[in-house]
Chain A
Amino acid sequence: MKSKTIKVDYLARVEGEGSLYVKIKDKSVVDVKFKIFEPPRFFEAFLRGRNFSEAPDITARICGICPIAYQMSAVHAMEDAFDVTVDGQLRALRRLIYCGEWIESHALHVYMLHAPDFLGYADAIRMAKDHPAIVQRGLQLKKTGNDIVALLGGREIHPINVRVGGFYKVPAKRDLAPLAERLKWARDAALETVRWTATLNFPDFEQDYEFVALHHPDEYPFNEGRLVSNKGLDISVRDYDDSFTEEHVQHSNALHSVIKGRGAFFVGPLARYNLNFNRLSLLAQEAARSAGLSPVCYNPFQSIIVRSVEILYACNEALRIIDQYEKPDSPSVQVQPRTGTGYGCTEAPRGILYHRYSMDDTGVILDAQIVPPTSQNQKTIENDLWQFIPKHLDLPQEMLTLQCEQAIRNYDPCISCATHFLKLRVDRE
């Protein structure tokens, strides 16, 4: 009887602290643990007693990579609770700042976290020695995304300008002109990125996933839409808790999000793309097709191409918004707190991010629930490893370990996010 284990104590090139443990016995996988040991920070607890207006600033601190996602889910949940609608140019500016976050976060993942796996480097800095132009393009794309967030939000990380009801200050049309110039370059660079990622080698690996994403009648989704899946889910964001739950799995240290009665599901760029292909800009659709992607993609390793397609879409969309922008009369709409519960779900770069808050009549938060994308993907990530490893057992240990890490990085997991909600179990033996 031959047994071996794959252990990665600290996963690299993911956001936060996680580890991987795989046990193989007689050519079959007997245990897979994608563990999250990042210490809990108790956001849902200390949000109680805070004012509703503080939620966007406080929840942004859950994640330094996708603070806009937290701010957007928080403001939409609050506006749902107080029956406030933010539309017109203010709504467009929210899409614009989200475009910035997608570009920044996706470029970071495509070039600095994921591509080194495909090309055999430990990191992008080492990759830059052999491929300087490619790494420079990635850094400048990332910077363009950050420029949008910094201009609209005040700074790249934990922006300060988003509030319930809109913004503190909105830009003049001329303020956006320099962004448009950079974005035109970025659009070309994004197209190059799609072409380049399409040339990478992808393991042959497709699974029968249930993809879940927002779906909007007219737009590729950022802030609004119904929650849909390729297996029949079609619900309002308000009904999230009726359809999703968390279950305890014996082999794992964490509870996993599942769709009630069905099991694991898949959120993020691949899910958005598969469920919203015809909402992409024509340029993005064409780029995807030319890259050999069909409108539905079941291979998570190809998510690097899909992220690139989404960067291209975000550049297109940002340029469209800037082109049609007229400065609104007021930077925000009036918000009057009242007793009630509000629900928000937006498309973080890594997938749907759900917030629910209950407030009293003065707007003090009584209860908060936050479900980030990585928690929702966690069960699917483990399922992938269960399926992937048996097919590659003949690989040398180092290579197999690397490919397991790559399979996890397909999901761009954000463990910092995950921990703040994950019902973490520490087994002491």
Chain B
Amino acid sequence: MAVKKKPKLAVWKFASCDGCQLSLLDCEDELLAVADKVAIAYFLEASRAVEKGPYDISLVEGSITTQHDAERIQKIRKISKVLITIGACATAGGIQSLRNFKDIKEFVSIVYASPEYIETLAKSTSIASHVPVDFELQGCPINKRQLLEVLSAFLYGRKPNTPAYSVCIECKRRGTVCVMVAQGIPCLGPVTHAGCNAICPAYNRGCYSCYGPMETPNTASLSSWFGRLGVKEENLVRSFRSFYGSAEPFRKESETHE
């Protein structure tokens, strides 16, 4: 009987902090079991052994910020049967997409002594704005439980269970008293995609939306609530313009308060 070959997994990195791919190595209890089910064929952070493509599943971390990377993602798409983006950088441009609101030349000259040597694009963009993406996993960083869920789902040909409702649902499930209602702490939870398990309110802090917009967020309504809690316009701009600042609903909302 022919032995079925293990599906090949590749992990790719673009502009990012490495945190989302580290989430896979942070599955300390599951890592060896995962390696039993899939062949880790390309994962430079973990291994110097590289198997040639094509790959059954490619996990892509990071945003596109250079011409070289814009070309590299095209090649990766061609050798990947399934391409899954992991994290805020890959799905929405990440914190480095704050450059999208500014003049990049000024940015380069602030950080670098010899700006003429810096090769960079004016904008930091998501993977999906360059190539078709099969699934986007949200979060800065992603949740490792959700990563395992998504990997299992694709390995077994089912839909991943990663609800797009708001963080509020997770607070209710967790039994956390609403920090905005009870304490008047501004919280982006009502417009933020679930997945983190509502950590911030459980630590007595408002959500700062590191999982990006939920589906159909009512950002205007939340902004007016923030106003009633005494949040100034410039802080509203900062609130919507952070780890998911370039995601469409947040970008638009931040611009209405400028």
Binding site for B on A (CB under 8 A): 10-17, 38-46, 48, 50-51, 54, 57-58, 61-65, 67, 108, 112, 122-126, 128, 135-136, 139-140, 142-143, 146, 154-158, 160-161, 168-169, 255, 331, 405, 414, 416, 421, 423-426
Contacts and interface: CB of A to CB of B under 8 A. Distances in A.
Contact of B49 (A50, A54, A122, A156): A122
Contacts of B196: 155
Given A423-B112, A426-B117, A112 B95 contact: no
Contacts of B140: 61, 158
A168 B242 contact: no
Interface stretch (B77-85, B161-169, B198-206, B214-222): B198-206
B45 A125 contact: no
Nearest to B205: A168
A160 B205 contact: yes
Most central of A43, A46, A54, A128 by chain B CB within 10 Å: A46
Contacts, number: 181
Interface string B14-56: 1111111111011011011001000010001111111000000
B111 interface: yes
A194 to B, nearest CB: 20
Contacts of A63: 17-19
B111 A44 contact: yes
A42 B196 CA distance: 27
A64 B17 contact: yes
B95 A58 contact: yes
A50 B238 contact: yes
Interface stretch (B102-110, B129-137, B249-257): B102-110
9 contacts: A13-B44, A45-B99, A63-B17, A112-B25, A126-B47, A143-B28, A416-B18, A421-B111, A423-B112
Nearest to A161: B203
Interface string B193-213: 000100110111100101000
A10 B11 CA distance: 13
Contact of B203 (A54, A58, A160, A421): A160
Nearest to B61: A64
Contacts of A62: 17
A377 B40 CA distance: 31
A363 to B, nearest CB: 11
Given A13-B45, A43-B95, A155-B196, 18 more contacts: A15-B22, A41-B15, A45-B111, A46-B96, A51-B235, A64-B17, A67-B19, A112-B25, A123-B49, A125-B47, A143-B28, A143-B29, A157-B19, A157-B22, A160-B208, A424-B112, A424-B118, A426-B117
B107 A45 contact: yes
Given A42-B107, A50-B238, A125 B117 contact: no
Given A17-B13, A41-B96, A112 B46 contact: yes
B244 interface: no
B128 interface: no
Contacts of B148: none
A306 B180 CA distance: 47
B110 A48 contact: yes
Given A61-B140, A65-B22, A158-B210, A41 B48 contact: no
Contacts of A423: 111-114
A154 B141 CA distance: 12
A273 B19 CA distance: 27
B28 A139 contact: yes
A369 to B, nearest CB: 10
Given A160-B200, A405-B48, A54 B242 contact: yes
A229 to B, nearest CB: 26
Contacts of A142: 26, 28
Contact of B200 (A44, A154, A331): A154
Contact of B110 (A44, A126, A157, A168): A44
B71 interface: no
Nearest to B88: A61
